[in-house]
Structure 1
């Protein structure tokens, strides 16, 4: 059914009146609008687990090259996107690698992590008016299919995506992907995904109000819907209040429930965050709640073949209380208090700091009810503003996560440290 819907949406997109918008008319040409960028990334994650669990860490150096051509001129423009990825394992520890949440280098059959990784991908794209059809290897960033770029190398997907911006403020997306490239492994089909269909869009109703609706269908796994509403209340000069609501509903397929020994098949999760910004300061209060009968809670990301997970992207969690823990267990309720500071107002442009405290309760597992967890998150980030190293960023992030004994089946206590150094280079 979703395949039919996608086909109808695609037809409507391609036949939309060109008078509304026409990005293709502004095309300067295949070469003239092309770009080549290289991101050098050095990344380290260390997890000091508690309760007798072995510590885990991985460290690597990556080079991420992305090429994006312009579109040829004419009624229908044609272009090409491509990427090349390489990562070198700087730790190579059989004992410390292999944590599901780090996943820089996948362990092989021998139990050892890879010494290095290299892979690439390409896609061809067509544009008519302000509607683009892309086929091939891509990195989609949609609320129901969002590739993970928060580790050493990014995930990617192979398939077709149509994006239409024919009407000002309105974006429509429809797509089908049939392979997933795991961030820690080579090859185009290392994630175990059979297929995923996506459909939805966002609309900027006013300058202050924006909303979005999306849906996805992961073959033989689950169906997912997403809703977002974001409103910005402008106040005095340099002051604003932003309300952001996000919600997901997931329904697991019966066969997936049986094969993986899952209890229940339904989950609903939502978050509402209020952020007050005044000058360089921001203050956030957020609440998040998970309901439903599935013992997975809100399920996303991971790799089906070896983790019993979903395959819809490691960043497919557009919710407020997602740091180290996602606070997404069955029946979990969580509150967040957050603070952010921009040091640019104090003579240090490019330096920011964020801290958050999140506490979750009412966690249900197969053996207990009423479990709790709490996390303290800290992050400093500095972006070089000028000179030869302009745009180089250093991010230092830490989390202290404590999980009650009742919740040990869902999560594990520990201290996490992440150090990321990113240096983007615009070749042309």
Structure 2
């Protein structure tokens, strides 16, 4: 079978590594390698409806190319490997008065025509433990890189993941720099939270986690995150799924987080969240409740997603100091009626009990997602999604937003 130029390039890179490392055993390194190229086309429109809005509209269109390569490991007691990522964003439409959608960098006068970045990760494996050093995209409650726009957010650092004990997953690591989703450079890491003061950029974010699966349906975990001179955070979670009948289930997702000041910052937050979902024959009915206590909102790393049950599309996670919020959600998988790949999600959130000036603040948000992924034929791996949302408050932004994403993933290895 004839290989594509990109596939040949990846193979050549791996071969170069084998020549540079004496005793390099190629078999598993090559046979377990995988690579793909994603074409992600993204249109983003956000209309600001409140009086006196500084920017009435954010409206941009862009094309992204995301190349991912993961090697296998060399043979032996210690196996070595390498991963690589290449990212390119191309401007299709923008304007000085329509910038800052998160798709493209924000220039001094206009968004640039393109931006790019690349990263390499060296990895080593002993038994069921893997150490990665380089470009990282960790997926932990304390650090969730954002992938909700054209290109994903990435970090630099080191991460050790161990699964040597059955049912137990342990993660340890440090992050040293942050590249947000619409940027090419590497910056020190900062914190985001409502009401936060006194923190400063740093090159030290330490994390540790332990997750244990007691049964196939019950998992508990503890996560620690410490951003030097900003905050220290402890997160405990419990998820449980109770199946009953032939096509029914009830899932519980409980989350508790305590965040404390480090250095001169004023972080003080306790976050409690609970989400319950009842599923039956393709339908899923969900309810969630969330409350904030303390003098600041819930902190997380700048640009990342927040690990709160009410972190959604537009609002900054319904995490104002002292805020209480609830969510009602409905999902449907059309595969139940013979249309696999077609999905629907809609939800409504309401928040109150927080200060907005000299009055009680209130806010609500409504989201709807419709997606379709082709399951077979020449269009397999093509996905279409429309995301629509509205957000209203009694003193902040009032926003109507639409996102249209078309993505196609081309397997290379």
Normalising by structure 1, what TM-score? 0.84
Q: How does 1:212-361 map to 2 (within 5 A)?
A: 212-257=221-266, 265-294=267-296, 297-302=297-302, 313-325=303-315, 326-361=317-352
Secondary structure, counterpart of 2:121 in structure 1: strand
Distance 1:273 1:139, change over 3 A: same
> Using the alignment, how far apart are the partners of 2:202 and 2:382 within structure 1?
35
Q: How does 1:100-139 map to 2 (within 5 A)?
A: 102-108=101-107, 110-139=108-137
Q: How does 1:39-58 map to 2 (within 5 A)?
A: 39-52=38-51, 53=53, 54-58=56-60
State the number of aligned residues: 373
Q: How does 1:130-209 map to 2 (within 5 A)?
A: 130-189=128-187, 193-209=202-218
Displacement of 1:254 in angstroms is: 4.5
Secondary structure, counterpart of 1:141 in structure 2: coil
Moved more, 45-54 or 377-386: 45-54
Q: Deviations over 1:215-271 (max 9, x none)?
A: 1111222111111100111111110000101222222335234xxxxxxx3011121
Q: Deviations over 1:21-49 (max 9, x none)?
A: xxxxxx95111111111111011221111
Secondary structure, counterpart of 2:378 in structure 1: coil
Say whether the 8 Å CA contact 1:321–1:336 is kept in structure 2.
no
Q: Normalized per residue, which structure has more strand?
A: 2
Q: How does 1:2-151 map to 2 (within 5 A)?
A: 29-52=28-51, 53=53, 54-98=56-100, 102-108=101-107, 110-151=108-149
> Using the alignment, how far apart are the partners of 1:95 and 1:256 within structure 2?
35
Displacement of 1:421 in angstroms is: 1.1
Q: Say if 2:391 is the partner of 1:392.
A: no
Q: Among 365, 368, 391, which residue is 1:375 paired with? A: 365
Distance 1:299 1:34, change over 3 A: same
> Using the alignment, how far apart are the partners of 1:172 and 1:368 within structure 2?
46
Q: Deviations over 1:77-132 (max 9, x none)?
A: 0000111000101123111112xxx3222223x23222111110001000000000
Secondary structure, counterpart of 1:388 in structure 2: helix
> Using the alignment, how far apart are the partners of 1:44 and 1:219 within structure 2?
37
Say whether the 8 Å CA contact 2:334–2:341 is kept in structure 1.
yes
The residue aligned with 2:14 is none
The residue aligned with 2:13 is none
Normalising by structure 2, what TM-score? 0.87
Say whether the 8 Å CA contact 1:269–1:291 is kept in structure 2.
yes
Displacement of 1:154 in angstroms is: 0.6
Say whether the 8 Å CA contact 1:182–1:190 is kept in structure 2.
no
> Using the alignment, how far apart are the partners of 1:215 and 1:28 within structure 2?
38
Q: Say if 2:413 is the partner of 1:423.
A: no
> Using the alignment, how far apart are the partners of 2:180 and 2:161 within structure 1?
24
Q: CA RMSD in A?
A: 1.6
> Using the alignment, how far apart are the partners of 2:272 and 2:321 within structure 1?
13
Displacement of 1:369 in angstroms is: 4.2
Say whether the 8 Å CA contact 1:288–1:321 is kept in structure 2.
no
Distance 1:86 1:152, change over 3 A: same
> Using the alignment, how far apart are the partners of 1:190 and 1:66 within structure 2?
25
> Using the alignment, how far apart are the partners of 1:388 and 1:251 within structure 2?
53
Secondary structure, counterpart of 1:42 in structure 2: strand
Secondary structure, counterpart of 1:370 in structure 2: strand
> Using the alignment, how far apart are the partners of 2:398 and 2:321 within structure 1?
18
Say whether the 8 Å CA contact 1:362–1:369 is kept in structure 2.
no
> Using the alignment, how far apart are the partners of 2:64 and 2:188 within structure 1?
19
The residue aligned with 1:21 is none
Displacement of 1:190 in angstroms is: 7.2
> Using the alignment, how far apart are the partners of 2:181 and 2:165 within structure 1?
35
Displacement of 1:299 in angstroms is: 2.4
Displacement of 1:318 in angstroms is: 4.2
Displacement of 1:184 in angstroms is: 1.0
